[in-house]
Amino acid sequence: DAVGSSDPMAAQSPPPVSAAPLDVSLVFLGTASMRPSRTRNVSGNALRVGGEWTIVDCGEGTQHQILNCGVAPGRTDRIFVTHLHGDHCFGLPGLMCLLSDNSHVPPAANGGSDRDEGGDGDGDVDGGGEERVVQIVGPRGLRNMLRALLLA
């Protein structure tokens, strides 16, 4: 019996397991390699856990696939790039432009308004002039590649 035991670990019970199913879906945005075809886009996946989306790999044209398949750009806050082959990362600049377009931000994130609630004249929908943060995770060299592409 763990009660009264001097071992602090003996009294701990395992964390409870949730009986509710996890709300998860995976959308294949592209399954072709090297170049897109009429029926397949290059590498890209979208993982939804709860209401938040994460993009895994971002080949050319991924932003179009996102708009065509029900992935919510305004609820996408993470991008993972597995490696720096073009068919896994050349779509990042276009996707970053799509994600920076505040018209895709859901109403719950902007207080239900499409006007500049912050009154700072920047026209943003977040109501306070704050910028939306999208975390991008990838291999060494990704930051330099993105800087070169976005500053060109």
Distance from the Cα of residue 31 to its chain's centroid = 18
DSSP one-letter string for 31-67: -B-SS--SS--BSEEEEEETTEEEEEEE-TTHHHHHH
Question: Which residue in the list 7, 23, 77, 87 is annotated as catalytic?
Answer: 87
Residue 40: count other Cβ atoms within 10 Å of its Cβ: 12
Residue whose C-alpha is closest to residue 127's, from 148, 141, 142, 113 = 113
Which tokens is 101 given? 């377009």
Which tokens is 35 given? 């170049």
φ, ψ dihedrals at 27, nearest 5°: -115, 125
Catalytic, 101? Answer no
Residues labelled as active-site residues: 87
